[in-house]
Structure 1
Amino acid sequence: MRTILLLALVLFGASGYAQTTINGNVVDQNGEPIPGANIVIVGKAIGTTTDFDGNFILQTSEEPPFQLSITSIGYTDGLENITSNNQTLRVVLSEAQTFLDEVVISASRTPERIFESPVTVERMGIETIKNTASADFYSGLENLKGVDVNTNSLTFKSVNTRGFATFANTRFMQLVDGMDNSTPALNFPIGNLVGMIETDVLSVELLPGAASALYGANAFNGILFMRSKSPFDYQGISVSVKQGVTSQEAAGTNSYTDVGVRAAHKFSDKFAIKWNFGYLDGTDWAATSTVDKFVPGRTRDALNYDGINVYGDEVSTDIKDVAVTLEGLGILPNGANALVPSVEVSRTGYNESDLTNYTARSIKSDWGLYYRPIEGNNLELSYVGKIGTGNTIYQGTNRYNIANFFQEQHKLELRNDNFFLRGYVVSDKAGDSYDMVFTGININRSWKDDNTWFGEYTGTFVQATLAGATEEQAHAAARAQAESGRYLPGTPEFQAAFDRVIRNPDLSRGSQFRDASKYYHSDANYNFGHLWDWAEVQIGGSYRQYSLNSFGTIYTDADGPIDYSEFGLYTQVQKKIEMANEKSLKLTASVRYDKNEFFDGFFSPRFSAGYSLNRDHNIRASIQTGFRNPTTQDLFIGLDAGRAILVGAAPDNLDRYQRTFEVSGGGQLLGQPSSIVQTGRAAYENSYSAESVIRLSETGNPAVLEIANPDVVQPEQVTSVEIGYRGKVKKLVIDFSAYYNSYSNFLAPENVIAPYYGTVGDGALSVAAISNGDFQTYQAYTNSDVDINSYGASLGLTAKVLGDFDLSGSYTYAKLDFDRVANPDFQVGFNTPEHQFKASFGNAELFKNFGFNVNYRFSDDYYWEATFGNGVVPEFHVVDAQINYTVPSIKSTFKIGGNNLLGDEYFTAFGTGFIGSMYYLSWTINN
């Protein structure tokens, strides 16, 4: 920090003396000020921006005459001649024709009109963000065409496009100023929990579909780009304060607060700094479903019950087996097991609401130092630091309370218009996070271990039966006895057990989630377009080094961090051919080579063509490929999730994971030892499919057993073909796209059963192991050879109606092409509605300083498949609205808004809390 401050002072002292001063005011055609307009000397990287009143002062050593370029998103460009010192300007900018004139960067890694983008691009600019009816800009992504946002928590929303959505969405990439903000431990971003401050957002661009040719692994289903405001262009202090309430039937009405502060200052044309701070606090959407996960009609008083949001009841056993064991030990009289039916009985669980306080919180800050060493040149050296902490709910294999999670990022970057070179590190700490499922399980076990509980249950059942009780009465008496003394929520005993469990990372006794992983990333790009005219050529590459450190709680890293790396190289050639009558053809070809140290290298090509009939009509087509490397969890996880042990498929991970298992009395009678050590290799080299073991239990026929022995995981690939059209017909703007995706090496976990003894397929000893209950269920990470394809289309329409009102609507169709009849046991996890419709109606200037906006979203019902559970997500209709009023005299905008105004609670994924309503009042100053 001392070095950074010293550098800042030196750079500040080195700033030059300004000789020419230009004063001005920038307004729209109605005379209203345009804040944040960019004023730049033509041909130089020297400029400033307008304040909230549209005023600016530009001081420069440049001597007149020269020209100023005045630009602002949503307005036509202005050009002014400067002929003397102390000149005063009044600049009038007219509204731009349509959004087709907006400039995007993400599609080709170079600035271009969205009209000419070779692929589909969705965009949110400053004005769109200001006018969104959503509570924040990140939630506003829900209103973009073709975008799915799944709500896991008030502070964790997962963005996805074109199918295969999960909360652990490793198919979608999220970049903030070029920096990946996925968490090292989980391999995906936790929404905007530790992301951007709204007052610092310049633009948001979203590319649906495969983008690996330029952006590498995980840019598979899409990529989200968030760009922040430069302190050279946007100066001053901006503040946003949002206060409101959330309303949910399960959680009631609770306070909601969201505060953002941005401070930026340009000391000179060479040096500028900025700082951001954000704070959000609220109560999460409570998940309270007591519906049985596997048999929806089963009630809570059933013998074997597993509630969706009830934890601890996952532990069950066949009491017939318990009776046999107790009889063999002499605890029950001979023949007692004949009185006990062969039925599964589960322990009594705890509601999720007993295991969390549903605090939703985000505290984040970032800062940056920016230095432009050469006057008149936009070469820039910058350092950016980001830290964030917060509380959220994450749903993966189980549901996790992510408490006091911490993530930090540090980036150094050198760039100008033609190249960038950046390096950054991302690290996280799990804080006080814990697994809520294992919390329920181990509170039960800390009070009474499983053997004791099931022993008391079975013994009481036998005694009650001998006393003449009916089977139903005997079960009731058995549970009452086994439950005697149980820790009840709200009691000191329960709280003490809860505190012990969530602080213990050993999942046999605790539930703490520990991690301090990180990754180092560097990437570079050079655009040769300024050196020749025949074509624009770019080359670039990236390198990433992972360092996993979960202390043995998630990964097989009990003996120290696991390090591995991957790299990629790419090139792109883009040529625009001008024709007569405003026609043009834009051709783009890209190819990327990637290599992970565990897999063979491979190429990802992309080719696109865009044909412009004139300024208002463009047709595009592309064929591109995407890939995603297996994640850190796919490779190195070693986690007992309760119903299965998750074992990653990295070559050395098969032996890194090992565990000792007790062999049953039946197994010992077959000559087996009392315990065996099994490694993760058993899942991949000596296993039956879990489905065939279920069929064995149903039929008793060993012939139905199927050998699994899944292959170790390889990278997944997709080939995507897309066509599209962008155009304007009078006042109507049209944006249409259609795609077809074909997947190979589809990554899909597979549940397998590994017997403690025998070799699968032997027809004897391994079958006996299964029959004796001497086996372990594993989740293996592998690739499927099942044919999986998907296709879809999106249509967006935007128009000015009734004078100056903005009306837009979009329809998205998505379809999975998969033969489920031929593959009944395969869970593909498409998790996407077939039909979606979104609409928006508003006016940013209904009358002077007053605007409004209304958004509507419809989602068709769809089936959700994930490791936590499967179920139907019903269709839903959501209306959001806001009105805003600007008070120029105090540089403020006030907004009153509401989300889900219809009040119909809904959910977007199986197992999460219902999403209620939110109402808020915001005050934004100088933004």
Structure 2
Amino acid sequence: MKKLMFLSLMLLGLATYGQTTVQGKVVDENNEPIPGANVVLVGKAEGTTTDFDGNFTFNTDEEPPFQLQFSSIGFSDFTANVTSNNQTLTITLSEANTLLDEIVISASRTPERIFESPVSVERFGLREIKNTTAESFYGGLQNLKGVDINTNSLTFQSVNTRGFATFANNRFLQLVDGMDNTAPGLNFVLGNLVGMSELDVQSVEILPGASSALYGAGAFNGILFMRSKNPFDFQGISAYAKGGVTTQDAAGSNFYKDFGVRAAHAFSDKVAVKANLSVLTGEDWHANSRADLNNPGADRSNPAYDGLNVYGDEVSDLINFDSFAGLPSGTIGSAVVSRTGYDEADLADYGAESVKADFALHYRPFADDLEVILNSRIGRGTTIYQGANRYAVSGFTMQQHKLEIKNDNFFLRGYIVSENSGDAYDTRFAAINVNRLWKRDIPNPSNPNERSWFGDYIGTYIPTFLGLFQQGTSREDASVQAHAAARAYADEGRLIPGTPAFESAFNKVINDGDLTTGAKFIDKTKFRHVNGNYNIAHLIDDWADIQIGGSFREYELNSNGTIFTDIDGPIKYNEYGAYLQVQKKFLDDRLKFTGSARYDKNEFFDGFLSPRVSFAYTLGEERNHNLRVSVQQGFRNPTTQDLFIGLNAGRAILVGSAPSNLDRDVRTFDISEKAQEDLGQPATVEIVGREAYENAYSVSSLQAGAPEVVNTPLVKPEEIIAYEAGYRGQVGKFTIDLSGYYNSYSDFLANTTTAVPFYGEAGDGGLSLLALQNGDYQVYQTYTNSEADINSYGGTVGVDTKLGNFDLGVNYTFAELDIDEGKYPDLRTNFNTPKHKVKASFGNAALFKNFGFNVNYRWSDSYYWEASFADGNIPAYTVLDAQINYSVPSIKSVFKLGGSNLLGDEYYTAIGTGFIGSIYYLSWSINP
């Protein structure tokens, strides 16, 4: 802390106090204001943007004379001379056909034109928010080239770029005003569920691909930056109200509503405040697939039925009826039998909700560019999250609190992010334990008279089958009828959804945090983060743009033993990093060099160096063609769950591989009666997580009938070398942006599934094999790295133009995974990305006075979805969205009527989720 205080004082001391102020307004040729126009000091990394009314205020330490450059999407640049302090300008921009002059910050941590960015970058600003056809600005991001959005539920959409995506997408980073929006315990971003109100969004930038050189371990597959409006620049009251209908075959038609309000005021040139509140409620997409992926075509008449969105039927056993009947093998036979499950609709409330609120105090002590910001955000959401199982997330909250000091040359911020799982529970375990609360699975050794489900099933099946078979019924028909009779008897008195008995049992289970008897998740994990950045260009007469920075983070895992192995108290660990970037132009400012290097250290792993080098060269007499190449090395640290999870997920026990975690996971298992009688084994045995790594067989080898010992190495960071080349340019009326990339991965983070025998040592050739034969083993999921050589490559091309007064854009994305699947059949990469995607937009922001429209088209190729919940093929789909909008300047209002998936063809982006239907909405935005 002393070092941080010293750094703060040092940076404050370096801040300068002289100031020049320029204000004014930017309008188009019809004298209409241009919101979101960029205002940049020529030759310096300083700038601002215009507000909704086209007004701007720009402060700088530069003394006149100097030049300001004005730019906005769809307009030609304009350069104005500033000759005195407090000068007022009125700037008129003429229409143009280029999209390359927008200013972005994320690519180099400094303002620069997209045209000159050293890497691929996508931007979504005020104009795009107004024209988006989606029901929310966040949903509108899916129309950007190279960007995928996987829809988990109505309020939870997961953004990703360049493949390797699940809903637990810990490869993609999202920053909200510089704060990491990752849920600390979950290790991924819950979309915009607890993010930012669209009224407060000034811009969204997306960097596809690795950016570890500047942003650290989390910036492995891409970054999304959301930047809010400063209350000094965007003042007043703004609001929106949105109502609409969602339609889905499974859920019918349901009303949804969304409203928000923003208030901002500058009390002086030193103090300004703002506050935001937004609330969305609606009906989530229902997931009702009863398909049995393990037995295609099977229905509930199949004794081993395991429906996709049916839970509780995962509890199954291979029953040897001959053994129980004391008959010769083959007399009756054997069968896999599963318990009767419950539909997801019986276990989850599909009411979706998102409530977001934030407050910020901005203080400029010297009325110049030095600014102190105190910012607090809190979000509360109800949604369905799909991970290893389907989780009903009810009342989940996440808070972010930040203190930041910055000016045009530096920032220093510290913030804390904490989550509270609220009333979240696992729907699969809710079904399993409601069943068990009513009737146990197997007979109770201490109470032989207590009924059990499998005991009732076996006791009914055997006499029924034998009676029918002896009467001349065919073996097949006798089996079908006996299974039906056995299930009917075993299910007698079963708890029925909607009855008081079911509700009582269900409420008991979902409020119990022990997954052997309950389903509730308890998670109050948090992390603390400090980072800073200083641009020393002004100290060296702008010879080069040189930035230095660093960060420190401490995790505090707190799940009371329900997710992590923190049964005896919170687990803490930390990581830190530092970086340097040099950026300089040569050859008459045509060649731009960017070099970066970052060092990061997690307390469990060796330090890692992430370098990045890029060159961009501007060609053409009018400097309207730009070529770029870059190469960078990146890494991804194992997540909190990779390290410290200790969770019984039903099909397997998940145990993290932090060295200190291996002996923290201790569980007791029952030994089979056969082993007790024949081998003299005790009734129970304790197994520690370490054995999943050091004393186990691979599950795949058991399934193949040839048990193979596996020793699983502990997990370490995953690495990537990313190559990229691209072109941006203006060719006549066409703006072209294309890029290609090649990623090479090593130490790919992966899971293995192992079986730990309850007695003997794996590989002993005797006792442990008997344990496997007797069913005396436990399946574990471990966290490790694959030896496989994994590569991915792809590219995007986007073309934008104007047809008269109409905007037309088309883009195409290609993505491919390169791996020797034959050599590594068990490796699950979760690439989850279509090979081909096509997107198009057509619109006119001013078809006639104050009236505009926009249409978006998306086509996605089919692809294979691979995740812990379920695997399967995703069919190709086509989506059409559209909106019309009408502005009423006299009341500073915009009315919009729109709809998404207007073709009505329901689709899905992941196996196990609800089908995505249509959304129709009407909105009214005031001073947006």
Report if TM-score (shorter chain) is over 0.5: yes
Partner of 1:262: 262
Partner of 2:619: 613
- Paired letter, 1:774: D
Structure 1 residues 823-862: aligned runs within 5 Å: 823-862=824-863
CA contact (8 A) 1:133 1:897 kept: yes
Q: Rate the CA distance shift 1:771–1:27 in 2: closer, same or farther, 3 A.
A: same
CA shift, 1:300, in A, is: 2.1
Distance 2:627 2:764 in 1: 61
- The reply on whether 1:423 has 2:414 as its aligned counterpart is yes
CA shift, 1:318, in A, is: 1.6
Distance 1:212 1:47 in 2: 26
Q: Which moved more, 1:41-50 or 1:662-671?
A: 41-50
Distance 1:637 1:711 in 2: 17
- Paired letter, 1:910: I
Structure 1 residues 873-892: aligned runs within 5 Å: 873-892=874-893
Distance 2:279 2:66 in 1: 42
CA shift, 1:65, in A, is: 9.7
Partner of 2:745: 743
Distance 1:593 1:41 in 2: 32
Partner of 1:674: 683
- The reply on whether 1:344 has 2:336 as its aligned counterpart is yes
Q: Which moved more, 1:465-474 or 1:664-673?
A: 465-474
- The reply on whether 1:589 has 2:595 as its aligned counterpart is yes
CA contact (8 A) 1:49 1:234 kept: no
Q: Residue 575 of structure 1 is aligned with which of 581, 584, 609? A: 584
Distance 1:558 1:337 in 2: 47
Partner of 2:575: 566
Distance 2:168 2:644 in 1: 16
Partner of 2:631: 623
1:275-312 CA distance string (max 9 Å, x none): 11110001111000000032222222111011110000
Q: SS of the counterpart of 1:454?
A: helix
Structure 1 unaligned blocks of 5 or more: 1-19, 697-703
CA shift, 1:95, in A, is: 3.8
Partner of 1:902: 903
Q: SS of the counterpart of 1:481?
A: helix
- Paired letter, 1:125: G
Structure 1 residues 718-867: aligned runs within 5 Å: 718-801=720-803, 803-867=804-868
Q: SS of the counterpart of 1:446?
A: helix
Distance 1:788 1:42 in 2: 44
Q: Rate the CA distance shift 1:577–1:340 in 2: closer, same or farther, 3 A.
A: same
Structure 1 residues 107-126: aligned runs within 5 Å: 107-126=107-126
Partner of 1:374: 366
CA shift, 1:535, in A, is: 2.1
1:368-427 CA distance string (max 9 Å, x none): 00111123x301111100001010111110010110001100000111111111100000
Q: SS of the counterpart of 1:907?
A: coil
Partner of 2:234: 234
Structure 1 residues 22-41: aligned runs within 5 Å: 26-35=26-35
Partner of 2:551: 542
CA contact (8 A) 1:47 1:233 kept: no
Distance 1:620 1:591 in 2: 19
1:517-559 CA distance string (max 9 Å, x none): 1000011111111122332211111110000000100000011
Partner of 2:535: 527
- The reply on whether 1:473 has 2:481 as its aligned counterpart is yes
Partner of 1:250: 250
- Paired letter, 2:891: I
CA shift, 1:34, in A, is: 3.3
Partner of 1:438: 429
CA shift, 1:886, in A, is: 0.4
CA contact (8 A) 1:46 1:269 kept: no
CA contact (8 A) 1:742 1:788 kept: yes
Distance 1:144 1:49 in 2: 22
Q: Residue 498 of structure 1 is aligned with which of 463, 481, 506? A: 506
Partner of 1:131: 131
1:786-845 CA distance string (max 9 Å, x none): 1111110110101111x1111001101100101112222222211000000000000000
Q: Rate the CA distance shift 1:722–1:681 in 2: closer, same or farther, 3 A.
A: same
Partner of 1:208: 208
- Paired letter, 1:635: L
Q: Rate the CA distance shift 1:61–1:617 in 2: closer, same or farther, 3 A.
A: closer
Distance 1:366 1:274 in 2: 8
The percent of aligned pairs where both chains have the same amino acid is 61
Structure 1 residues 659-738: aligned runs within 5 Å: 659-668=667-676, 669-696=678-705, 704-738=706-740
Distance 1:336 1:494 in 2: 41
Q: Rate the CA distance shift 1:270–1:618 in 2: closer, same or farther, 3 A.
A: same
1:215-240 CA distance string (max 9 Å, x none): 00121110111100111111111111
- Paired letter, 2:758: Y
Structure 1 residues 333-412: aligned runs within 5 Å: 334-335=326-327, 340-375=332-367, 377-412=368-403
- Paired letter, 1:557: D
Q: SS of the counterpart of 1:304?
A: coil
Structure 1 residues 83-98: aligned runs within 5 Å: 91-95=91-95, 98=98
CA contact (8 A) 1:894 1:921 kept: yes
Distance 2:904 2:888 in 1: 31
Partner of 1:635: 643
Q: Normalised by the size of structure 1, how large is the TM-score?
A: 0.92
CA shift, 1:94, in A, is: 2.8
CA shift, 1:108, in A, is: 0.7
Distance 1:44 1:608 in 2: 20
- Paired letter, 1:657: D
Q: Rate the CA distance shift 1:144–1:480 in 2: closer, same or farther, 3 A.
A: same
Structure 1 residues 212-223: aligned runs within 5 Å: 212-223=212-223
- The reply on whether 1:868 has 2:869 as its aligned counterpart is yes
Distance 2:772 2:47 in 1: 75
- Paired letter, 2:121: V
1:714-741 CA distance string (max 9 Å, x none): 0001111111000010110111111111
Q: SS of the counterpart of 2:597?
A: strand
CA shift, 1:651, in A, is: 0.2
CA shift, 1:93, in A, is: 3.0
Q: Rate the CA distance shift 1:919–1:721 in 2: closer, same or farther, 3 A.
A: same
Structure 2 unaligned blocks of 5 or more: 1-19, 443-451, 470-477
Q: Rate the CA distance shift 1:128–1:59 in 2: closer, same or farther, 3 A.
A: closer
- Paired letter, 2:594: T
1:71-98 CA distance string (max 9 Å, x none): 564354464768899x987543334652
CA shift, 1:55, in A, is: 6.7
CA contact (8 A) 1:52 1:891 kept: no
CA shift, 1:570, in A, is: 1.0
CA contact (8 A) 1:73 1:125 kept: no
Partner of 1:317: 317
Q: SS of the counterpart of 2:432?
A: helix
Q: SS of the counterpart of 1:450?
A: coil
Number of aligned residue pairs: give it.
886
Q: Rate the CA distance shift 1:77–1:233 in 2: closer, same or farther, 3 A.
A: farther
Q: Normalised by the size of structure 2, how large is the TM-score?
A: 0.92
CA contact (8 A) 1:586 1:611 kept: yes
Distance 1:204 1:89 in 2: 27
CA shift, 1:667, in A, is: 1.8
Q: Rate the CA distance shift 1:395–1:50 in 2: closer, same or farther, 3 A.
A: closer
